[in-house]
Amino acid sequence: MKVYKKEGNVLQILCFPDEEVEKGDYLLIEEPKAGKALIAQVIDVQFANVPGILEELLRSSPDGGNIEGADFDPLEIAPHITYIQDSRLLICKVRASVNNGQLSPSKSWFPSRSRSVVKKLPVSRLLEAIQARGELPIVLGETKEGSQLVIDASSLDGRLNIVTGKKETGKSHLSKLLVLSLVQYGASVVVFDLNGEYAGLGYSSDGARNAYYHRIHVLTPGRNFKLMLGQLKLRVILSILVHALHLPGTSAREFRHIWKTLKEKNELTLYALGEAIRNWRCNIHVRDALFSRYYALVNSGIFTDNPSEASSLEEFLFKTREKGGAVVVNLRDTSSIDRQIMVEYVLGKLVELLSNWRLRAVFLFAEEAHLYLRETYWDDIVTRMRHFGIFTTFITNQPDSIRSSIYRQADNIFLFNFTNENDLEAVSKATRVDAETVKSIVRDLPPRHCLVLGRAVKDFPMVVKVRSLDVKAMGRTRLFFEKRADLLEKVTVPLEELSKASG
Amino acid sequence: MVIEQLPITTTPKYNFPQENIALTLPQTFLELSIQSIKTVEKQPLCLRELLNFQQDTMTTLPVPKHVIAKPISLKPKRDNSVVSAADVSSIKIGETSTGLLIAIRGAVVWKQNSDYRYLRVGPFLFHVTEENKHEIYNRLRRAYFGFVHQNRKTAGLHSTSTPNLMQMQSRLTGLFEKWLQMSMTMAENGLILWDGALTAGTPEAPLDVVERILEIARKRGAVVMGFSKMTRLRFLGYRITDLLTQSKPPCLLKLDGYSKVCGPIRLLGDIYVARLAEGNCAFRLDLDRKLPNEQHVEAVQRLLGNDIVLQGYPETLRLAHILCTFTANEVIAMQRFIANKMKLNMVSRPNIRRILFGPYGKGDGEAY
């Protein structure tokens, strides 16, 4: 490999056919005598612009057909021709420099074309150099070279993370891996599980209980999770009414009075609330508004007046304090309104517990948050709630559903494959890396492969094949042609047959 | 003399299914190529001035006193004749402190029925120096055109003097082209297409050699046809290729009256202007002078019937040209080959004009 060009922090390296380099690989451009080096990442591989290539290709197929013949090439120059034809240009981004063995983020050193030695930098060596492993290692999976990509769990602590990629690329799988790893290190995790995918975290793939069984608490609203009104603070119920059920301000004021009155009487029940609204002296329109919200609460099935049916979120969260654990809020099969009621309640409760220091911090995993998170919460989560100790990981297959301001503030981004230009454009807004890297590498990622950006990899973007988990798969897409789909998945067509078929 | 060879051997006969074209591989070319490039070892190789040498027919003949200017209308005649063509390219791939590095490659293309086939021979690399130019040139001449020497000796003539270093590229190219053309005469009753006129008497095309090739071809019932893409011949001040612009193609115009001798140059063909297809392309076409006019016309009609003629130029000849021409990539590959094999240090030759005159220094060949 030879240094060809350097423009800004983009290096172009000439690479010959016998040198195996792919997108995502790291290169070390070293000048041993000067004791300096650059670390660059290959973000694109192109054919080298060798003069005369077009003429040669055209010549090999005159008039669109093949001319049969042979070459008597006594000096065997043909291999040299193909060698040059197949030479490639590696477009690389300079990630850091090395000065006398010390890694530095400065990229200003200019390497010599003639004296520089370019070689592949094994990811394992790079990870060692950047000390990504830390004291709380999370094995994400394997790099292309077969070495483990290990990140430090503390790189997720206090951070905003995004996991995104198109459908069926492995986002939820990675999220599960992160959840279990955090639980393993004693962290409290709350998951807003939109499709009921995390319900099986406590079971291994054969259905048996796994080591996490006692630490995974699946709460299904209306089924094993019901609340009594008395468990709610006025602020939380108002949040639900105003934000989830869109109660107007005047009606909210009246509700506040009703609530306070009932609380003073120690009569905070659904029944008492209904009666109070019915008998409250107020404008008829206000009463109607309050009634409609009241029935929404009743119909959600989340609230109960029966103490034996009621559960306590606090209790589940406190269970996670000692040895770590995850509270999975199963939002599958819940209506949009009920989902919002539940999310408002959980977030309100978390803020309450965290602000009282009854909980130290919580890792919140929010799947497709745009489906239940109100507009104002986005900024709240990434700015205010972070200070309370809610460290969010957004998981979505619609990257444009997350605001660009969120991407800019994200500390870690786990990117799976995207092919759609709009999606790529949206994710490329992340400030932890340049848009070209994202667009070029993410477009070609195979399923289950993920580009890790951010603090977890010390800003050295890395591609990893996410390791498998022995966890019961839940939330699989229900198929009409189930058997046929299984068959189709097994169909493999040998390359020779394809070649034969195309003549 | 024992030649220290690189471990490259050739089979004596090229193993390609050929019915009418049979080439014995140019063993001496290969031997001399290998021998010469061994002399280049560990020298700096300058890469400037890589100019493609393209031999064209710019023979200037005296203007004729009279011309029978009557176009002959042609009708394609299909008889499954083998149409074959040869072309040779050479290029200077670098300079060393003692000489030049030259690459030569030839291609033979033939068409039988509807199939085109080719044999590409080379590239041969030569490191030509003042010391080895005599040996290279004379050994090649002796090896491939030994009969000429024999004839000259018999006639009491001296062999042709060795060219200077700068002429070696065109001389070696000429020798190789004549060798290819000689090999093509094996095609019986075929049509043999040459790139350029049927002129002889130049160092690149010795009279005895060209006469001999034509003679062998005649004996085998083949017709040699020389197509010139460029010509300086004029008639009444007009370029001869413009004479047929009003005639309906395919047609042929015979130009009589041109002198057959001009100094050392001999014209071994009758000169025609051929406009074989629609479009503005007409070419000078030379046909073996010792064949009757009727056979000339018939040969062109057979060419029309048995080969694809696009823009008035035979496809076989076009393919031969395309296949032998060096692309820039190939030049780089050859430079890499020689640099790797002989441990050469490749350097760019300083541009004296640029050094002296900066942005006012034109290219070496652009002195205004």
Give CA–CA dist A198/A193, Å, rounded: 6
Together in a domain, A184 and A247:
no
Together in a domain, A65 and A200:
no
Give CA–CA dist A435/B347, Å, rounded: 39
Asked whether residue A182 carries a pLDDT value surpassing 90, the answer given is yes
Closest chain B residue to the Cα of A81, Cα to Cα: B333
B14 at interface of A, judged by CB pairs closer than 8 A: yes
Q: Report if residue B301 sits inside a domain.
A: yes
Nearest by CB to residue B333, choosing from A59, A70, A81, is A81
Cβ <8 Å between A76 and B336:
no
Closest chain A residue to the Cα of B118, Cα to Cα: A69
Looking only at the bridges linking them, the beta strands covering B223-228 and B191-195 are parallel
Together in a domain, A187 and A68:
no
Average pLDDT over residues A334-346: 86
Give CA–CA dist A395/A166, Å, rounded: 11
Nearest by CB to residue B25, choosing from A72, A81, A85, is A72
Q: Report if residue B88 sits inside a domain.
A: yes
Residue B285 DSSP SS3: strand
From the CA of A63, how many Å to the nearest CA of chain B?
10
From the CA of B204, how many Å to the nearest CA of chain A?
24
Q: Report if residue B11 sits inside a domain.
A: no
Beta-bridge partner residues of B108: B86, B119
Return the DSSP state at A369. G
Range of the domain at B168: 27-360
Choosing among B108, B330, B334, which should be mutated to test the A contact, i.e. which has the most A CBs within 10 A? Answer: B330
Residue A498 DSSP SS3: helix
Total domains in the fold of chain B: 1
Asked whether residue A52 carries a pLDDT value surpassing 80, the answer given is no
Q: Is the whole-model pTM more than 0.80?
A: no
Residues of chain B contacting A77 with CB distance shorter than 8 Å: 123, 330, 333-334, 337
In the prediction, which pLDDT does A190 show?
Answer: 93
Cβ <8 Å between B319 and A68:
no
Q: How many other β-carbons are positioned within 10 Å of the β-carbon of residue B3?
A: 9
Choosing among A67, A75, A113, which should be mutated to test the B contact, i.e. which has the most B CBs within 10 A? Answer: A75
Together in a domain, A375 and A462:
yes
B124 at interface of A, judged by CB pairs closer than 8 A: yes
From the CA of B227, how many Å to the nearest CA of chain A?
21
Total domains in the fold of chain A: 3
Closest chain B residue to the Cα of A85, Cα to Cα: B329
Together in a domain, A262 and A179:
no
User: Between these two residues, B42 and A332, which has the higher pLDDT value?
Assistant: A332
Please identify among residues 24-43 of chain B the ones whose CB lies closer than 8 Å to any CB of chain A. Answer: 25, 30, 33-34
Please identify among residues 60-79 of chain B the ones whose CB lies closer than 8 Å to any CB of chain A. Answer: none
Element (H, E) at A53: helix A53-59
- What is each CA distance from A61 to A79, A114, A145, B121, in whole angstroms? 19, 38, 38, 19
pLDDT per position as a tens digit, A76-98: 888 888 888 888 999 999 988 88
Cβ <8 Å between B329 and A81:
yes
Element (H, E) at A480: none
Nearest by CB to residue A74, choosing from B30, B118, B333, is B30
From the CA of A121, how many Å to the nearest CA of chain B?
27
Q: Report if residue B295 sits inside a domain.
A: yes
Q: Report if residue A58 sits inside a domain.
A: yes
Asked whether residue A183 carries a pLDDT value surpassing 50, the answer given is yes
Together in a domain, A318 and A217:
yes
Give CA–CA dist B204/A207, Å, rounded: 88
Together in a domain, A432 and A345:
yes
A329, burial (CB in 10 Å: exposed 0-12, middle 13-18, buried 19+)? buried
Cβ <8 Å between B122 and A72:
yes
Beta-bridge partner residues of B105: B89
Q: Report if residue B368 sits inside a domain.
A: no
Asked whether residue A351 carries a pLDDT value surpassing 70, the answer given is yes
Looking only at the bridges linking them, the beta strands covering B238-239 and B251-255 are unpaired
Residues of chain B contacting A85 with CB distance shorter than 8 Å: 329
User: Between these two residues, B134 and A285, which has the higher pLDDT value?
Assistant: A285
Cβ <8 Å between B109 and A81:
no
Closest chain A residue to the Cα of B109, Cα to Cα: A69
Among the ranges A447-456, B60-69, B105-114, which has the highest mean pLDDT value? A447-456
Asked whether residue B174 carries a pLDDT value surpassing 50, the answer given is yes
Domain-terminating residue out of A251, A273, A300: A300
Nearest by CB to residue B115, choosing from A56, A62, A68, is A68
| CATH code assigned at B170 | 3.30.420
Cβ <8 Å between A52 and B327:
yes
Cβ <8 Å between B10 and A74:
yes
Cβ <8 Å between B122 and A73:
yes
Work out the pLDDT band at B262, boundaries 50, 70, 90: confident
From the CA of A51, how many Å to the nearest CA of chain B?
5
Residues of chain A contacting B8 with CB distance shorter than 8 Å: 74-76
Q: E strands within B113-250?
A: 115-129, 191-195, 199-200, 223-228, 234-235, 238-239
**Residue A346 has which token pair?**
């959980």
Nearest by CB to residue B116, choosing from A52, A67, A73, is A67
Cβ <8 Å between A72 and B121:
yes
In 3D, which of B219, B226, B146, B228 has the Cα closest to residue B185? B219
In the prediction, which pLDDT does B284 show?
Answer: 87
Work out the pLDDT band at B50, boundaries 50, 70, 90: very low
Give CA–CA dist A363/A367, Å, rounded: 13
**Residue A181 has which token pair?**
């790893």
Cβ <8 Å between A56 and B329:
yes
Looking only at the bridges linking them, the beta strands covering A137-142 and A68-72 are unpaired
Q: Report if residue B367 sits inside a domain.
A: no
Asked whether residue A457 carries a pLDDT value surpassing 80, the answer given is yes
- Count the residues in chain B: 368
Range of the domain at A267: 229-300
User: Between these two residues, A368 and B348, which has the higher pLDDT value?
Assistant: A368
User: What string of DSSP letters covers A181-243?
Assistant: HHHHTT-EEEEEESSS-GGGTTB-TTS-B-TTGGGEEEE-BTTTB-B-GGGS-HHHHHHIIII
Give CA–CA dist B271/B258, Å, rounded: 8
What b-and-e string marks burial along A271-309, b requiring 16 or more CB atoms within 10 Å of the CB? ebbbebbeeeebeeebbebbeebbebbeebebbbbeeee
Return the DSSP state at B156. T
Cβ <8 Å between A84 and B336:
yes
Together in a domain, A275 and A162:
no
Q: Report if residue A278 sits inside a domain.
A: yes
Cβ <8 Å between B118 and A56:
no
Would you put residue A134 in left (φ > 0), alpha (ψ -120 to 50) or beta?
A: left
Nearest by CB to residue A59, choosing from B16, B119, B322, is B322
| CATH code assigned at A156 | 3.40.50.300
Please, what's the largest Cα pairwise distance for chain A? 106
Give CA–CA dist B141/B153, Å, rounded: 14
CB pairs under 8 A, 24+ apart, for A373-382? A373/A343, A374/A243, A374/A244, A374/A340, A374/A344, A376/A243, A377/A347, A378/A402, A378/A403, A378/A406, A379/A405, A381/A160, A382/A160, A382/A406, A382/A409
Q: Report if residue B3 sits inside a domain.
A: no
What b-and-e string marks burial along A141-168, b requiring 16 or more CB atoms within 10 Å of the CB? bbbeeebbbbbbbebbbebbbbbbbbee
Nearest 10 degrees: Cα torsion A404, A410, A414, A415: 20
In 3D, which of B101, B89, B105, B135 has the Cα closest to residue B26? B105
Q: Report if residue A432 sits inside a domain.
A: yes
In the prediction, which pLDDT does A259 show?
Answer: 92
Q: Report if residue A482 sits inside a domain.
A: no
Together in a domain, A220 and A237:
no
Choosing among B112, B127, B329, which should be mutated to test the A contact, i.e. which has the most A CBs within 10 A? Answer: B329
Q: A213 with A207: CB under 8 angstroms? A: no
Nearest by CB to residue B337, choosing from A50, A59, A75, is A75
Cβ <8 Å between A69 and B119:
yes
Choosing among A47, A67, A85, A86, which should be mutated to test the B contact, i.e. which has the most B CBs within 10 A? Answer: A67
Cα dihedral sign for B348, B354, B359, B360?
Answer: negative
Together in a domain, A117 and A143:
no
Per cent of chain A over pLDDT 90 is 19
Chain A residues touching chain B at CB-CB below 8 Å: 50-53, 55-56, 59, 62-63, 67-77, 80-81, 83-85
Cβ <8 Å between A77 and B319:
no
Together in a domain, A266 and A366:
no
Chain A / chain B CB contacts < 8 angstroms = 96
From the CA of B263, how many Å to the nearest CA of chain A?
38
Q: How many other β-carbons are positioned within 10 Å of the β-carbon of residue A403?
A: 16
Asked whether residue A390 carries a pLDDT value surpassing 80, the answer given is yes
In the prediction, which pLDDT does A430 show?
Answer: 66
Q: A447 with A419: CB under 8 angstroms? A: no
pLDDT per position as a tens digit, B76-112: 888 888 889 989 998 888 888 788 888 999 999 888 7
User: What string of DSSP letters covers B32-80?
Assistant: HHHHHHGGGTT-EEE-----EE--------PPPS-----PEE-------
Cβ <8 Å between A56 and B119:
no
Residue appearing with tokens 């057909």: A65
Residue A57 DSSP SS3: helix
Residues of chain A contacting B123 with CB distance shorter than 8 Å: 73, 75, 77
In the prediction, which pLDDT does A257 show?
Answer: 92
In the prediction, which pLDDT does B19 show?
Answer: 42
In the prediction, which pLDDT does A12 show?
Answer: 92
Give CA–CA dist B298/B189, Å, rounded: 12
From the CA of A75, how many Å to the nearest CA of chain B?
7
Together in a domain, A213 and A238:
no
B328, burial (CB in 10 Å: exposed 0-12, middle 13-18, buried 19+)? middle
Residue B268 DSSP SS3: coil
Give CA–CA dist B357/B348, Å, rounded: 18
